[in-house]
Amino acid sequence: ATNCVTGVPCQYPDELDFRIIVLTFNRPDSLRKCLSHMAKLDTLGHEVGVDIWIDRSKEGKLDEDTYEISSEFQDTWTCGQVCLHIQDRNAYIIGQWVDAWRPRENTREIALILEDDIDISPLTYKWLKLMNSKFRDVSDVAGYTLQMENVNYVKPNLRPVSNIPKTDNVFLYRLFGTWGYSPKPNEWRDFQDWFHEVRKDNTFKPYMPDLVINKWFTGFERQGRADSMWEMWPIYYHNKSNLYTVYSNLRNYTGHNNTLLDMNRLEPGLHYKAHSRITKDKSYLLLSQWNPELEKFPEYLPRHDFDGSCVNSSAENNNTYL
């Protein structure tokens, strides 16, 4: 669908209002579930483009079942264009994530990047459009995550996020969230430029010694699988650049359980062995009804560091979305 090549950030020939990017490899059943939830997305009558990126194996093999399911979705999606992109060689998860979207400079295009074991709420589009309208011009916000489950403070050890006021429908956290991520275009461009430059130095490592997740990363390094934990690179970059991610706080804010913007099925793959766990359908927990209360933002949102402590930020940033 494009002339993009593996290893180079892909800039699409067209510029859209909203683009969903799905990253997949060889989990056809998982991809089918992911796309079935996307098919229920309420786009408010607007066009939404979909780009499905299919990786190849290290031997260069394409999973035919994954390609077939992607083609079927291309034929049935009615809300906009669907493009299939097949890597010309193995990109691995790190290459899929970093290079699947090269936004134009100062574009207003919104992109949502999903792995194939993520199921999204029908109201994802509406929530992300709202977040973008509120935080687009807040300079220390790097992007928005759909992730609500399994969010912990990570310094020095894992500790559940528990100090966010119930009156706040969102919070700002230093940690990058991969379970459905929508990066702000210019910040994502800057990250890509930095990433491809520092990767030229084989001795550079994105170590974060004070964080418990650093132990996971170094463990993968010893196994020769460090790039499977690709998110260490944006975590490192966001920290050095003083950037935050917007998380939702809908369960505490509403008092209801069915408030997830997405769910991760934790399918067998890079980090979970086959049959090591039973994946459960928790789609009944996805947000299915919009409440106008969700559009009310607190007057002030503190920034939370890796340990949950509040970080002072400039009044200019905080006043942007009053």
Identify residue 16 by its one-letter amino acid code.
L
For the chain, the average pLDDT equals 93
CB 95 within 8 A of CB 12: no
Sign of CA dihedral 131, 232, 102, 19: negative
CB 7 within 8 A of CB 97: no
Residue pLDDT, tens place only, 273-291: 655 455 677 889 999 999 9
Residue pLDDT, tens place only, 194-240: 999 999 999 999 999 999 999 999 999 999 999 999 999 999 999 99
Report whether pLDDT(321) > 50.
no
With a pLDDT cut of 70, the percent of the chain lying above it is 93
CA distance 64 to 204: 37
Residue pLDDT, tens place only, 242-258: 999 999 999 999 999 99
Residue pLDDT, tens place only, 68-121: 999 999 999 999 999 999 999 999 999 999 999 999 999 999 999 999 999 999
199-218 CB burial, b ≥16 within 10 A, e <16: eeeeeebbebeebbbbeebb
62: left (phi over 0), alpha (psi -120 to 50) or beta: beta
Instruction: Report pLDDT for 268.
Output: 63
Report whether pLDDT(313) > 70.
no
Q: How many CB atoms lie within 10 A of CB 48?
A: 21
This prediction has a pTM of 0.94
Instruction: Report pLDDT for 10.
Output: 96
Place of tokens 């060889």: 26
